[in-house]
């Protein structure tokens, strides 16, 4: 982050631009250390240039925003993030609300953040590996800060019965050795924990219980 010193708020002539670690440059005003900037911003400055207090303040604001953008891009590179998650980062970095929105606009323009794409990717991942009911998916997406209207749009074509069937198939092996009664109880509880409701669970569990009994008879 930009380090502010007393000299940063004074008029002064740039007398030195000294590289630092991690792509930072220290700007000296009238021979004294004034402020630190990203090298990209420091490249806009020249020795002998006079900086007023307003110019220094603007440079510091731009530096904060550039730093926040880079930090957000690093997080997104690891996994997709929602705007809410990135605003949590911006709050830690003490960005003002207007600064946060400007950085977010840049991230949107670069296609690094999209709550709609995040929600769709989340749904696709769940369907592929850990199917959930609409109730559970809504709770998960709300927990990531996805707006309600985006969640509803994402789930508008959601096939609850297909998701439940996929989830049930994953859990079948655990309960194959149980009695018919316990099989129904345990599989129902398993599906409930994954956010499915009884109108979806009950007929599915009954169907799978019947299929299991038919397979057992055929194998004897």
Over residues 53-63, the pLDDT tens digits come to 899 989 999 99
Residues 132 and 77 in one domain: no
Query: Is 70 exceeded by the pLDDT of residue 7?
Result: no
Q: Which domain holds residue 103?
A: 6-109
List pLDDT tens digits, range 83-126: 999 999 999 999 999 999 999 999 999 999 999 999 999 999 99
Please write the tens of the pLDDT for every residue from 133-152: 999 999 999 999 999 999 99
Per-residue pLDDT, 213: 85
Written as six digits, the tokens of 13 are 């002539």
Q: Which of 58, 38, 40 is nearest to 102 (CA)?
A: 58
- Asked whether residue 87 is assigned to any structural domain, the reply reads yes
Q: In this prediction, what percent of the chain has a pLDDT beyond 90?
A: 79
On whether the CB atoms of residues 171 and 132 are closer than 8 A, the answer is no
Query: For the chain, how many structural domains are there in total?
Result: 3
pTM of the predicted model, to two decimals? Answer: 0.79
Judgement on whether residues 63 and 140 belong to the same structural domain of the protein: no
Contacts of residue 94, Cβ cutoff 8 Å, sequence gap at least 6: 64
pLDDT in tens, 165-208: 999 998 888 898 899 999 999 999 999 999 999 999 999 999 99
Task: Verify that 142 and 202 share a domain, yes or no.
Answer: no
- Please check whether residues 86 and 123 belong to one and the same domain: no
**Same domain as 119, residue 25:** no
| Residues 170 and 188 both lie in one domain | yes
Whether 1 is in a domain gets the answer no
Q: With 80 as the cut, is the pLDDT of residue 218 above it?
A: no
In sequence order, what are the residues at sequence separation of 6 or more whose Cβ sits closer than 8 angstroms to the Cβ of residue 77? none
Give yes or no: residues 57 and 95 share one domain: yes
Model pLDDT for residues 36-48, shown as the tens digit of each residue: 999 999 999 999 9
Domain containing residue 35: CATH number: 1.10.10.10
């Amino acid at each position: 982050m930009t380090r502010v010193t007393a000299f940063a708020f004074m008029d002064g002539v740039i007398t030195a631009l000294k590289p630092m670690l991690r792509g930072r440059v220290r700007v000296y005003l009238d021979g004294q250390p004034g402020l630190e900037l990203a090298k990209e911003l420091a490249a806009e400055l020249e020795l002998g240039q006079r900086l007023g207090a307003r110019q220094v303040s603007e440079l510091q604001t731009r530096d904060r925003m550039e730093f926040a953008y880079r930090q957000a891009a690093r997080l997104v590179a690891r996994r997709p993030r929602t705007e809410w998650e990135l605003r949590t980062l911006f709050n830690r970095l003490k960005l003002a609300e207007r600064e946060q929105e400007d950085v977010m606009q840049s991230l949107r323009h670069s296609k690094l953040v999209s709550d709609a794409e995040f929600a769709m990717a989340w749904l696709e991942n769940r369907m592929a590996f850990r199917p959930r009911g609409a109730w559970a998916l809504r709770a998960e997406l709300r927990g990531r800060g996805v707006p309600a209207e985006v969640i509803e749009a994402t789930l508008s074509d959601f096939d609850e019965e297909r998701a439940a069937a996929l989830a049930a198939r994953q859990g079948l092996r655990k309960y194959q050795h149980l009695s018919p009664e316990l099989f129904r109880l345990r599989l129902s509880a398993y599906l409930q924990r994954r956010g499915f409701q009884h109108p979806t669970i009950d007929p599915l569990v009954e169907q799978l219980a019947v299929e299991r009994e038919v397979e057992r008879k055929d194998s004897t």
